[in-house]
């Protein structure tokens, strides 16, 4: 079995693949101060609930946009699984993804992994939108080259900014409002965050299509992708497991290289 770990700024997603199938998935809060032992005990409790053991895992692959957490995760892999993890970003991305981008080292590991999975599943051209701490847009052309993208504040960042910077505004849950026009402060905030995000998504995607003079398939992933896709006019498909699938695909490439 393959254990995959995707570390985002807000959440960390864990998964276990058996053959080509994602059998188990968990989402935990990212804590950059956790020690290797705390990670080990947390993962053990998640595994036990599914009747898994550390010894069931043959390999580990990690993608992270939070560098301080990596020491603990790598040490946890060695101490608890007795495995040396594969870490996305330690080597050049070019062996997994064709680049049409001036400085590939700038690209976050999560965006590379998403692109790899999207190309495998859909081919090019594509726009991949990831609803994480930031909302990111990546463009992959018809030659299946990574060509760049856009980074915007995520929905949770926008919501927290309203709460922390405006004294009288409360913290709210992000959800689809009953109508565009809010009749209360909370409804107005919900509408602003929700429809503001949809307007941004559709506006940016349409501008990208106009500038590129092409009609790429638009794939959404990340925690809030399903919510936004319900009212977006430009998102073609939601793929909630895109990042984990990308980690699995890259691992298969690494395994092939090691066999030769």
Residues that are catalytic = 110
Provide φ and ψ at 134, rounded to 5°.
-105, 155
* Ligand-binding site membership of 199 (annotated): no
Q: In 3D, which of 101, 97, 131 has the Cα closest to residue 112? A: 97
* Ligand-binding site membership of 130 (annotated): yes
Q: In 3D, which of 154, 153, 150, 143 has the Cα closest to residue 216? A: 143
* Ligand-binding site membership of 218 (annotated): no
Strand arrangement, sheet containing 98-99: 98-99, 145-153, 134-140, 126-131, 217-222, 237-238
| Cβ-contact 238, 226 below 8 angstroms | yes
* Ligand-binding site membership of 111 (annotated): yes
Instruction: Establish whether the linkage from the previous residue to 117 is cis, with ω within 30° of 0.
Output: no
* Ligand-binding site membership of 10 (annotated): yes
* Ligand-binding site membership of 31 (annotated): no
Distance CA 250, CA 143 (A): 19
* Ligand-binding site membership of 108 (annotated): yes
* Ligand-binding site membership of 180 (annotated): no
* Ligand-binding site membership of 207 (annotated): no
Binding residues for substrate: 101, 108-111, 185
Binding residues: 6-13, 101, 108-111, 130, 133, 185
Binding residues for K(+): 130
Binding residues for ATP: 6-13, 133
């Amino acid at each position: 079995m393959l254990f995959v770990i995707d570390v985002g700024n807000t959440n960390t997603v864990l998964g276990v693949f058996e053959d080509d199938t994602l059998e188990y998935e968990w989402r935990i809060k990212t804590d950059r101060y956790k020690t290797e032992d705390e990670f080990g005990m947390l993962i053990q409790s998640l595994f036990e609930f599914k009747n898994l053991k550390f010894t069931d895992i043959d390999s580990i692959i990690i993608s992270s946009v939070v560098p301080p957490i990596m020491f603990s995760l790598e040490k946890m892999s060695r101490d608890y699984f007795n495995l040396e993890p594969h870490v996305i970003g330690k080597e050049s991305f070019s062996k997994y993804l064709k680049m049409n981008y001036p400085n590939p080292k700038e690209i976050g590991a999560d965006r590379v992994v998403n692109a790899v999975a999207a190309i495998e599943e859909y081919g090019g051209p594509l726009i991949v939108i990831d609803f994480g701490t930031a909302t990111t847009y990546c463009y992959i052309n018809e030659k299946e080259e990574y060509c760049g993208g856009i980074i915007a504040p995520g929905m949770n960042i926008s919501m927290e900014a309203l709460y922390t910077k405006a004294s009288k505004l409360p913290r709210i849950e992000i959800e689809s409002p009953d109508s565009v026009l809010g009749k209360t402060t909370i409804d107005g905030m919900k509408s602003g965050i929700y429809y503001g995000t949809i307007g941004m998504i559709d506006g940016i995607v349409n501008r990208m299509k106009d500038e590129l003079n092409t009609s790429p398939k638009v794939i959404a992933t990340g925690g809030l992708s399903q919510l936004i896709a319900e009212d977006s006019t430009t998102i073609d498909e939601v793929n909630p497991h895109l990042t984990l699938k990308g980690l699995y695909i890259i691992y298969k490439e690494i395994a092939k290289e090691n066999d030769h």
